[in-house]
């Protein structure tokens, strides 16, 4: 495995030139303003007055129009590298190539912070730069020495009307965060394109620098644009510097391999609007949502890794046991890229299994009124709650009690089942024994005899209904009144199309008692129903 520590993009490599600059108290006094007097000159003017030290930096500010920014009223602190301490030629070349925005983002803004940040022997703090990077500002080990990140401060606290200027002995290196690095690696184009497709540029007038008003509209010399990304807000803020993440990044070939295997779970019928787009969007969303791991929350990464989607209340999903063993997700990474907010692990393989991520159990609680229908069934439904002293393993501690309105009718109830995939499921219905409700009732030993029917859409979008049959081929089912009975309704049933994420649920399961008047002594028409469960059928 190769290990790569990335300091700065090719083209912004800083040329460190051996250089010693005498720094005496007289020199400091010559360039420092009287702290009791607010200087009239701006930061830009202060930089321009020191051509023997800062002419290269001043030229770069002019080429990027940041001379105007530093000549305005907003307060900044600048750490300006002295002449000969950075490669001005490579930066000029990038600007000539039309990459001025890159130079601004990765060099200019990496030496500027908002507000005043003077240094003293007591200084030790983190400073947020305009580049969104954070650097430590502190006093050094030697007497009267100060450090900005890993750079030494040659001259400090040069006051101006709109801030403070420090002169440093080298350029401050720019480290990519994970989000920034992705767009530099062509081997990760597929992943990068999907993540960046959620970018939304938002103008921030409060942080922008106004230059004047033209025709009643404010003109900004420095417009601050923030990038918001809805996807990263869900899977992990890879564009922020205040967290540490691990990203398992599939190469383009691994991405294509995963896409082809996962898309089959998101086939929609022909009547669904933009079915192809839904298939593509949902497939890619499922591919990325378990790629990010919060490094600070991994207590024993060799034993198990928890993605950012992991929920303590549902421990079956988004957890990857023994991730470094052969055949598991981190077993064949090809390269590690260290970034300012974590590590990227590149891989040419895709070892995620659907049942660890998106191919999940679907549970419909019977007491949930939404999607439940019994309107013409001539029955009553009561919501029952398990008593605190009863240790019954009933889902959500609640169930429904369906009671026929007459003695000769077979009542029924239908449940909508949301978010089914175009995949195979084992379908169960869980019945509560009558003794849990009333152990002294005459129905306590009577089973329920019933039948099930399943409604779904076919590939053309037409609704279909089938009569369910057990493994012996019978369409009649009986419950066991002695226990909480999980009845297998259908095994390995494959839905031809997905209903995932749709407002209208097209999958429904109907329960209807099937008891004749002569059978009422043997069976009960009252149904106590806990829930409907669809479990992925795994080969």
Which CATH number is 390's domain given?
2.60.120.260
Q: What angle do CA 471, 448, 379 make, to 5 degrees?
A: 125
Domain match, 227 and 333 both:
yes
Distance CA 516, CA 327 (A): 56
375 lies in some domain: yes
Read off the DSSP letter of residue 32: S
- The answer to whether the CB of 455 falls within 8 A of the CB of 465 is yes
461 lies in some domain: yes
- The answer to whether the CB of 75 falls within 8 A of the CB of 115 is yes
Domain match, 341 and 389 both:
no
Domain match, 351 and 498 both:
no
Distance CA 204, CA 226 (A): 7
- Residue 483 has which token pair? 């226990």
| SS3 of residue 512 by DSSP | strand
Domain match, 161 and 183 both:
no
- Residue 243: exposure state from Cβ atoms within 10 A (0-12, 13-18, ≥19): middle
Pairing mode of beta strands 398-404, 379-385: antiparallel
Domain match, 343 and 451 both:
no
Distance CA 42, CA 180 (A): 33
Closest listed residue to residue 359, CA positions, set 479, 261, 244? 261
* Final residue of a structural domain among 357, 372, 399: 357
Integer CA distances (angstroms), 458 to 279, 416, 452, in order:
16, 16, 19
Q: How many CA atoms lie within 13 A of 242 on its CB side?
A: 4
- The answer to whether the CB of 221 falls within 8 A of the CB of 72 is yes
- The answer to whether the CB of 215 falls within 8 A of the CB of 76 is no
257 lies in some domain: yes
Q: Which residues 6+ apart lie within 8 Å of 25 measured at CB?
A: none
Alpha helices in 187-338 (DSSP H): 189-196, 230-235, 252-262, 275-288
Read off the DSSP letter of residue 265: G
- The answer to whether the CB of 7 falls within 8 A of the CB of 171 is no
Please report, for the domain that includes residue 62, its CATH number.
2.30.180.10
Domain match, 286 and 335 both:
yes
41 lies in some domain: yes
Integer CA distances (angstroms), 318 to 294, 298, 351, 463, in order:
12, 13, 13, 34
Q: Radius of gyration of the chain from Cα atoms?
A: 33
| SS3 of residue 487 by DSSP | strand
Residue 140: other Cβ atoms inside 10 A = 11
Domain match, 371 and 347 both:
no
379 lies in some domain: yes
Domain count, the chain: 3
Integer CA distances (angstroms), 24 to 27, 145, 469, in order:
5, 12, 93
Closest listed residue to residue 131, CA positions, set 168, 169, 103? 103
Domain match, 196 and 94 both:
no
* Final residue of a structural domain among 135, 168, 201: 168
Residue 327: other Cβ atoms inside 10 A = 10
173 lies in some domain: no
Domain match, 372 and 349 both:
no
Q: Which domain holds residue 154?
A: 2-168
Read off the DSSP letter of residue 42: -
Domain match, 111 and 254 both:
no
Query: Which residues share a beta bridge with 165?
Result: 78, 158
Query: pTM value?
Result: 0.81
Distance CA 487, CA 414 (A): 16
DSSP 59-123: HHHHHTTHHHHTTSSS-EEEEEEPTTSS-HHHHHHHHHTT-HHHHIIIIIGGGEEES-----TT-
pLDDT at position 221: 65
What's the farthest any 2 CA atoms get from each other in the chain? 112
Domain match, 387 and 507 both:
yes
pLDDT at position 220: 72
Integer CA distances (angstroms), 287 to 53, 169, 357, 403, in order:
52, 46, 9, 45
Q: How many CA atoms lie within 13 A of 284 on its CB side?
A: 17
* Final residue of a structural domain among 298, 332, 357: 357
Distance CA 76, CA 114 (A): 4
201 lies in some domain: yes
Domain match, 374 and 324 both:
no
Q: Which residues 6+ apart lie within 8 Å of 244 measured at CB?
A: 294, 295, 296, 341, 342
297 lies in some domain: yes
Residue-wise pLDDT for 440-482, tens only, equals: 999 999 999 999 999 999 999 999 999 999 999 999 999 999 9
Integer CA distances (angstroms), 242 to 43, 232, 296, 414, in order:
29, 14, 11, 49
Residue 369: other Cβ atoms inside 10 A = 11
- Taking the chain (539 residues) in runs of 10, the rounded mean pLDDT of each run is 41 35 37 54 96 97 96 94 95 96 95 96 94 92 87 96 96 96 96 97 76 74 80 96 94 97 97 96 97 96 96 90 96 96 97 96 96 91 92 94 88 97 98 95 95 98 97 96 97 98 96 94 96 95
Q: Which residues 6+ apart lie within 8 Å of 281 measured at CB?
A: none
Residue 214: other Cβ atoms inside 10 A = 8
Distance CA 509, CA 489 (A): 10
């Amino acid at each position: 495995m190769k290990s790569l520590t990335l300091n700065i993009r090719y083209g912004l490599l800083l040329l460190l030139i051996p250089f010693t600059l005498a720094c005496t108290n007289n020199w400091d006094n010559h360039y420092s303003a009287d702290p009791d007097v607010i200087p009239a000159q701006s930061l830009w003017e202060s930089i321009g007055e020191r051509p023997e030290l800062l002419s290269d930096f001043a030229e770069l500010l002019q080429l990027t129009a940041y001379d105007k920014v530093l000549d305005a009223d907003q307060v900044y602190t600048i750490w300006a590298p002295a002449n000969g301490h950075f490669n001005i030629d490579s930066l000029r070349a990038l600007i000539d190539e039309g990459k001025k925005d890159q130079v601004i983002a990765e060099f200019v803004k990496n030496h500027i912070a908002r507000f005043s940040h003077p240094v003293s022997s007591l200084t030790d703090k983190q400073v947020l730069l305009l580049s969104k990077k954070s650097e430590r500002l502190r006093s050094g080990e030697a007497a009267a020495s100060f450090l900005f990140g890993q750079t030494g401060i040659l001259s400090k606290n040069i006051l101006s009307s709109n801030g403070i200027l420090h002169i440093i002995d080298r350029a401050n290196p720019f480290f990519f965060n994970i989000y920034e690095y992705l767009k530099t690696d062509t081997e990760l184009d597929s992943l990068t394109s999907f993540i960046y497709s959620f970018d939304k540029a938002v103008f921030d007038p409060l942080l922008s620098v106004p230059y004047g008003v033209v025709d009643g509209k404010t003109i900004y010399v420095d417009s601050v644009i923030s990038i918001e990304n809805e996807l990263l807000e869900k899977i992990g803020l890879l564009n922020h510097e205040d967290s540490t993440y691990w990203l398992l990044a599939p190469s383009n070939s691994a991405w294509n391999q995963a896409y082809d295997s996962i898309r089959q779970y998101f086939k929609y019928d022909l009547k669904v609007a933009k079915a192809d787009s839904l298939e593509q969007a949902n497939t890619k969303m499922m591919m990325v949502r378990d790629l990010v791991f919060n490094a600070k929350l991994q207590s024993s990464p060799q034993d198990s890794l928890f993605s950012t989607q992991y929920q303590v209340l549902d421990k079956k999903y988004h957890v990857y046991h023994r991730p470094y063993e052969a055949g598991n997700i981190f077993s064949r990474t090809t390269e590690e890229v260290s970034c300012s907010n974590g590590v990227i692990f590149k891989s040419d393989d895709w070892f995620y299994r659907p049942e660890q991520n998106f191919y999940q159990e679907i549970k419909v609680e019977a007491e949930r009124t939404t999607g439940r229908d019994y309107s013409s069934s001539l029955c009553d439904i009561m919501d029952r709650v398990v008593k605190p002293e009863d240790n019954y393993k009933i889902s959500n501690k609640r169930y429904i009690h369906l009671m026929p309105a007459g003695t000769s009718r077979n009542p029924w109830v239908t449940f909508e089942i949301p978010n089914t995939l175009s995949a195979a499921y084992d379908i169960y219905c869980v019945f509560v024994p009558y003794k849990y409700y009333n152990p002294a009732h005459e129905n306590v030993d009577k089973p329920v005899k019933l039948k099930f029917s399943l409604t779904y859409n076919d590939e053309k979008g037409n609704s279909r209904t089938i009569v369910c049959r057990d493994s012996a081929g019978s369409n009649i089912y009986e419950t066991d009144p002695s226990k909480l009975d999980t009845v297998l309704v259908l095994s390995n049933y494959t839905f031809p199309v997905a209903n995932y994420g749709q407002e209208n649920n097209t999958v429904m399961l109907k329960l209807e008692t099937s008891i004749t008047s002569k059978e009422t002594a043997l069976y009960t028409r009252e149904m106590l129903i806990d829930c409907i469960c669809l479990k992925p059928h795994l080969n």
